Chain A
Amino acid sequence: EAGVVQSPRYKIIEKKQPVAFWCNPISGHNTLYWYRQNLGQGPELLIRYENEEAVDDSQLPKDRFSAERLKGVDSTLKIQPAELGDSAVYLCASSSSGTHGGAEQFFGPGTRLTVL
């Protein structure tokens, strides 16, 4: 079974530029998450989707971040414009809601973003 797929794996951009990350979850997983992991920290949730609906986006900086999950499968996370402080690893995860409400999440390899 294929795992969570993310692309690109690495991205280097200059500040004020836009950037987008793509995620394809495990087949059949209805719940999709985007996390941000800063250096030396654990992942922090940005947004959670149930199918195509964003059910928890309280931690998403909505002035510059946006996300979508059209058709309830793959998802895109966008930053526009990027700031120096956005440099981090962006992780996508998915889960099946049948497992303890979805707590056992499966992570992709992440996209390492560097903003210069």
Chain B
Amino acid sequence: DQQVKQNSPSLSVQEGRISILNCDYTNSMFDYFLWYKKYPAEGPTFLISISSIKDKNEDGRFTVFLNKSAKHLSLHIVPSQPGDSAVYFCAASASGYALNFGKGTSLLVTP
């Protein structure tokens, strides 16, 4: 069963606007959440993470929000740039180590 779900397979956003990628999880034991970015023919690259003791973490243009009661997190990219076009994976772990990944959301940022 899929414990981490990304229900939007794709998203298209205009350059300069905000991109919002969503992720839901079912396992209440998850205490650490990460976003990875993947370009074709490359491995996933770590982007940003958040611990369950926080509800927001910001790094430059990227912000991750965590709503534990709803078991939901989102990644905001502001402003979006064409180079952000990639597949974004949400991942979660319980007490470290094993990562459970969602199926990914393909983001396309158009000029």
Q: Give the B-binding residues of A (Cβ under 8 A).
A: 4, 31, 40-45, 48, 56, 91, 93, 100-110
Contact check, B43 vs A103: say whether CB atoms are below 8 A apart.
no
Size range of the chain B interface in the assembly? 20 to 34
Task: Report if B93 contacts A (CB, 8 A).
Answer: yes
Residue of B at shortest CB range from A92? Answer: B43
Instruction: Please indicate the chain A residues that have their CB under 8 angstroms from the CB of B97 in the complex.
Output: 31, 48, 56, 101-103
- What total count of A-B pairs have CB within 8 Å? 61
Contact check, B101 vs A44: say whether CB atoms are below 8 A apart.
yes
A103 to B104 Cα, complex, angstroms: 18
Contact check, B41 vs A104: say whether CB atoms are below 8 A apart.
no
Contact check, B98 vs A42: say whether CB atoms are below 8 A apart.
no
Contact check, B98 vs A45: say whether CB atoms are below 8 A apart.
yes
Task: Name 22 interchain pairs, CB-CB below 8 A, sorted by A.
Answer: A31-B97, A40-B104, A41-B104, A42-B89, A42-B91, A42-B102, A42-B103, A43-B99, A45-B98, A100-B32, A100-B49, A100-B96, A101-B95, A101-B96, A102-B97, A103-B32, A103-B97, A104-B46, A105-B46, A107-B45, A109-B41, A109-B42
Interface residues of B in 29-62 (CB under 8 A from A): 32, 34, 36, 41-46, 49, 51
Contact check, B51 vs A45: say whether CB atoms are below 8 A apart.
no
* Of listed B91, B96, B102, residue having the most chain A CB within 10 A: B96
Task: Report if B4 contacts A (CB, 8 A).
Answer: yes
1/0 contact string of B22-33 vs chain A (CB within 8 Å):
000000000010
B103 CB to nearest chain A CB (Å): 5
Instruction: Please indicate the chain A residues that have their CB under 8 angstroms from the CB of B93 in the complex.
Output: 101, 103
